[in-house]
Structure 1
Amino acid sequence: MSTSERLIESTRELLWERGYVGTSPRAIQRRAGAGQGSMYHHFAGKSDLALAAITRTAEELRAQAEARLGGPGGAVERIAAYLRREREVLRGCPVGRLTQDPDVMADEALRRPLEETFGWLRERIAAVLAEGVESGELDRGLDPAATASALVAVLQGGYVLARAAGTEEPFAEAVEGALGLLAARAAPAGRPGPGAGRP
């Protein structure tokens, strides 16, 4: 791994553990095994390095989500695969936790990858739900956009509940509760979807 990669990965870990204020240049250098000169050779400063780290984390979250949401199966099955995927629940969401950091949110450049990532995630889940409505898997009365926002909120709230309780159980309960509500919106058996019967 190159020095710049070590710096980015070390910053990602420290931001997740300590937040922006708690992540000092010295701590980054120590974890990356890099000197001050190396750090400032590759990055203009802490903010520039943090932006690279946050962007990398956001890209990773999208890739993990797309692997499940774009996988095989029906809409509910794909959403369940995403919601139930393995996570380090008690560490919190590496993207969601940064939205609680006032220094990150006050910096437009640092905030933008978070905003874009959650916007993408809501739209991607909404698209999968819309596919389910179109195919007849889900009830026509279901609002894909509103339901997608609710599912993302359940995930983020699940992290908070789990961290507060010191156990992953509340997160798992939140996920299963959301999937139960989604299953309740399944279309009645045998109802043709809007495109049924078309050549």
Structure 2
Amino acid sequence: MSLPILLKNWLSTLPTKASPASTDRILWYDQAGNASKAQTKAQLDAQLGYRLACLLTTTAVQSVSATTATAVLFNTETFDVGGLHSTSVNTSRITIPAGGDGLWLFAHTVTFTAAYIEQGSDRQSYIRRNGASAERHAAVRITMPPYTSALPSLTGATIVRAVATDYFEVVVFSERDINLPAAPGGVPNWQTSFSATRLGD
């Protein structure tokens, strides 16, 4: 059995009073008792096989004003491995933790309501980094068709290189006032969502 597996099994037997943060540091010592290496919990998790990742959704309807780029808010975490998101502060953001530098896959789906009112208008969604720049290949756009009972959705994904403290958001833009429903038509599979997965170095 390899050392990482042994260490992982040993760590699982230790009693814990609180979950350590991804930024907590772990010191490694050599045989002489000297500290030889320091790692964050996020780095150790990656070494032991844990994949930093999260999937976010929302249970609230969000209004988007016409011609205003608006970050989508997410108040629910299907899962969050590594503390990438908060449901109480800056809820639009997925933030890269300490030790999380590397390649990341981001994906999003945005579903809109009131399709029949918006015929001929444009809607867009994209992933934004650090409140400023849009990530290439993550932007999608639709021109609303004539009335249809189907709710329109935009889906995009991209792979980027990111470093600790970078944060990413899904941004929507519409030529008309719109709403983003929590679970359109009662179908959760159409729900607006945002996900991130660290792929590696």
Pairwise same-fold verdict (TM > 0.5): no
Q: Which structure has the highest helix share of the two?
A: 1
Normalising by structure 2, we get a TM-score of: 0.32
The answer to which structure, 1 or 2, has the higher relative contact order (CA under 8 A, 6+ apart) is: 2
Q: Which structure has the highest strand share of the two?
A: 2
